[in-house]
Amino acid sequence: MRGTRSGTGAALAAGTLALTGLVLAPTAAAVAPTSATIDADCGSFGGGAATLTATQDGTAATITVNSSAITAPIGLGEDSIASTLTLVKAGGGTTVFTATENPAMDAGDPVQVGPLPGTVASGDSLEAYGGSLTMTVFGITITCTATGPQSPGPFVFD
């Protein structure tokens, strides 16, 4: 009977330690805000409102760009748009997010690119205004720029 109590006590102690470890474990890094809007000018390809959505996992971050105001001029296959998003750092310099990631789109569909991966540091404050989004489709390069600061404000990474 004494061995059963010791075994139960040890199991209870191990369970308590495991639970304490979960409670005290560091949380995943977070970016705030997680989404922001801009007005984009894409030259002769159009322009309008676009939403940038950010995620963060440590120093790895992604940005996805969606716009119902900017539409696909023709049908586009999945992962057919090479995109580079350049965001401006509050302290100077830029951070680049780049990939060939997009869903398939029919002509006239809202444009979506991403998630575009990039590297961030704790405390980075990144803004679309002053940067650009370059998309290359079938050898044609489209450059979009923000016409003003993003709302509600820059992305700040933990």
Count of domains for the chain: 1
For residue 135, tell me if it sits in a domain: yes
The answer to whether position 2 is within a domain reads no
Alpha carbons within 13 A on the beta-carbon side of 148: 6
127, 129, 70, 117 alpha-carbon torsion, rounded to 10°:
-30
What residue numbers bound the domain in which 106 lies?
31-148
Does residue 108 form part of some domain? yes
User: Which pLDDT band holds residue 84 (cuts at 50, 70, 90)?
Assistant: very high
> Does residue 88 sit within a domain?
yes
Q: Give the mean pLDDT of the chain.
A: 86
Instruction: For residues 133 and 87, give the distance between their C-alpha atoms in angstroms, rounded to a whole number.
Output: 9
For residue range 22-61, what is the model confidence (pLDDT) as tens digits? 334 444 569 999 999 999 999 998 899 999 999 999 999 9
pLDDT single digits (tens) 59-80: 999 999 999 888 888 999 999 9
Q: Is residue 117 part of a domain?
A: yes
Within a domain: 19: no
Domain of 72: which CATH number?
A: 2.60.40
Give a yes or no: residue 132 inside a domain: yes
In a domain, 78, yes or no: yes
